[in-house]
Amino acid sequence: MRRVVAALVIALSFGFMVVPSAAADSGGLVVTSATVGGQDVASTNLGAPLRLVPGEVVDVELRVANNGNHAAHIRRADLSGRVLGLVFFSYLVPLDVSVAPGATETVRYRLELIGLDGQANGLMRGDVAVVGDNGDRIAWMPMITDVRGSLLSVYGLFGIALLVLTVLASVDAALAIRRHRLSGNRWLRGLRLLTPGVGVGLVLLFTATVLRLWVPPTPVWLNIAAGTAAAFFALGYFTPTPDGQHDDDADADVADEDAERDAHIDEADIDEATMGTADIEDADLGEPILADVDEPALVGADSSTLVDKSAD
């Protein structure tokens, strides 16, 4: 379960990395203005997002200027929305427009938002872009959209799955803490709570977008998820060692102390053995000790023999 959440987070990060960035070479072509359904795209914000209703037909108008030295050819126009670098809705329209160097062209087309209710829901960042002959986006204008889709859309199911996985991982970690089954190693305890931390951060942001409260850019998403992950890791790291277990660091300190004490004991034993050997050598070199008796004892003699001898 924890591996599934971790794999999901890795997949999200990979999706973020493969999305074309705003620094891509556009060959001097720029979108100077854009309107969708009569609303200016450049002026969209959290307070006034571009409202997209599934099934509606909207008129799109783009003004494109070529500031380069070579003519640019536009093959398609794209209206799309992304979260964490993942595309949740995209509407491509074929075009055949050439823009000469220094010229400005106006592109107009009509777009029907078919299937939008099954793709996304809530606030979402996106853009209106034009695509060149090689399929790359050569110019775009960012926007914030308010998609009036369904909670059971792809984005809604994505958030629900993330919520379920995060709850399961959090319950698993909470039960481990309650039952004192966390690892005795501080780093392992921190890693045990790291995955729920990432999930909590992502779920909070997903909830904010669905409730139409806030839609942060991708770097903010990742920073908030990293912050909650760090907080949960610290919680696991500084959690007291469970009863009956020992922290590996503490065990290492105790082992060092035991080894040092054993070394001192061995040295003391060696000193005592050396001193004992010296005493024995001194005793061997001394004068013999004479017994204070007149005659040697008769070994094996009985009492009568002793009496007769004393009578003599």
> Cα–Cα distance between 220 and 198 in angstroms, integer?
13
> Cα–Cα distance between 228 and 16 in angstroms, integer?
19
Per-residue pLDDT tens for 149-208?
A: 999 999 999 999 999 999 998 898 888 878 777 777 788 888 888 888 998 999 999 999
Beta strand pairing call for 104-112 and 137-147:
unpaired
> Cα–Cα distance between 39 and 144 in angstroms, integer?
12
Domains of the chain by residue range: 22-147, 154-238
Phi, psi angles (nearest 5°) of residue 276 = -65, -40
Least confident of 26-35, 82-91, 189-198, 284-293: 284-293
Residue pair 130/78 in contact (Cβ under 8 Å)? The answer is yes
160: left (phi over 0), alpha (psi -120 to 50) or beta: alpha
If you search the block for the tokens 């009568």, which residue do you land on?
Answer: 304
% of the chain residues with pLDDT over 90: 45
pLDDT of residue 186: 81
pLDDT of residue 218: 86
The residue-averaged pLDDT of 119-123 equals 94
Residue pair 215/209 in contact (Cβ under 8 Å)? The answer is yes
Amino acid sitting at position 161: A
Residue 126 in tokens? 């996106």
Spacing of C-alpha 273 from chain mean position: 59
> Cα–Cα distance between 34 and 40 in angstroms, integer?
6
Q: Binning pLDDT at 50, 70 and 90, where does residue 281 land?
A: very low
Q: Binning pLDDT at 50, 70 and 90, where does residue 125 land?
A: very high
Residue 272 in tokens? 């005592």
CATH number for the segment(s) 22-147? 2.60.40.770
pLDDT of residue 184: 72
Query: Does 43 score more than 90 pLDDT?
Result: yes
Residue pair 126/34 in contact (Cβ under 8 Å)? The answer is no
